[in-house]
Amino acid sequence: MERLFAGLINFKEELRPSLKPLFEKLAHGQTPELLLFTCCDSRVVPHLITSGEPGEVFVVRSIGNLVAPADARGQSVGDVSEASAIEYALEVLGIRDIAVCGHSNCGAMAAVQKGRRSFADVAPNLARWLEHGEPALQRVRTMHFDEGLGEVDQLSQANVLVQLDHVATYEPVRKRLRQGEVRLHGLWFDIGHAMVHLHEADKGAFVPLDEAELTRLLTT
C-alpha cells in the first residue's frame, strides 16, 4: 500500500495542477475515439502505449483480452460486461474504431495452450472464461509468424484475430461494418521490446509500428 499512497500523493502534488483544466472539461462528458479491449496484465498500460490522454480511449480489460461472442439472438454467450461496453461505445458514445490488443508472454494464452481443465478445480471461473480463447488453437495453424516467435506468442497473436471476430458478432458492430461506419484493428504489444505491432490484412501478419511503418500508414 505504501507504493499506492505515494503514487496518489504524487498525482495530487505533481500531476493534478496541470491536468485539472482537462478534468474540469471532462466532468461534463467524454468523447473517446477508440474502444480498446486489452488484457488485465499489469505490464500492459493502454494509455501509455497509445499516448492517450484522459477521455480519449474507452478501455475494457479482461483476462486474455477475451470477448465472449454473441449468440443468434445477439446476446453474449459469456460475461455481459464486454458486450455492454460494445453497445455503450457505439450506441451512446459514437465510437468508430475498435481495437483488440494482445501481448507477449501472456499467461492466459499459456493456460489455453496447456489446457484450461488442468486448473478447473482451483480456478473454475477462470477455466470457463478461457473457453473464449480456445478457437485460437485452430486459428494459429493458419497463420504465418516472424521467425523465432514463441508458441505462446503465436497463440496470443492468433487470439487477437479471434477476439476481433467475436466483436464482429454483435449487431451494433455488424451493422456499422456493413455501412462502413466502424473499423476493427488488431494490435499486439511486445513487452520486451516495448513495441506495438499492427495486424495488416494485406500482409497477413502483425507488423511492428516503427517509424518507417507509421510513416507509410499515414501517407497511404
Alpha-carbon Rg for the chain, nearest whole angstrom, is 18
- What does the mean pLDDT of the chain come to? 95
C-beta neighbour count of 128 within 10 angstroms = 13
**166 labelled binding-site residue:** no
Residues 6+ apart with CB under 8 A from 117: 127
Among 96-105, 143-152, 168-177, 208-217, the least confident range: 208-217
**40 labelled binding-site residue:** no
Supply the pLDDT for residue 178: 97
**106 labelled binding-site residue:** yes
**41 labelled binding-site residue:** yes
**What CATH architecture is 31-218?**
3-Layer(aba) Sandwich (3.40)
Residue 44 sits at φ, ψ, to 5 deg, of: -105, 110
Q: What is the pTM of this model?
A: 0.94
More confident residue, 7 or 27: 27
What residue has cell string 451512446? 92
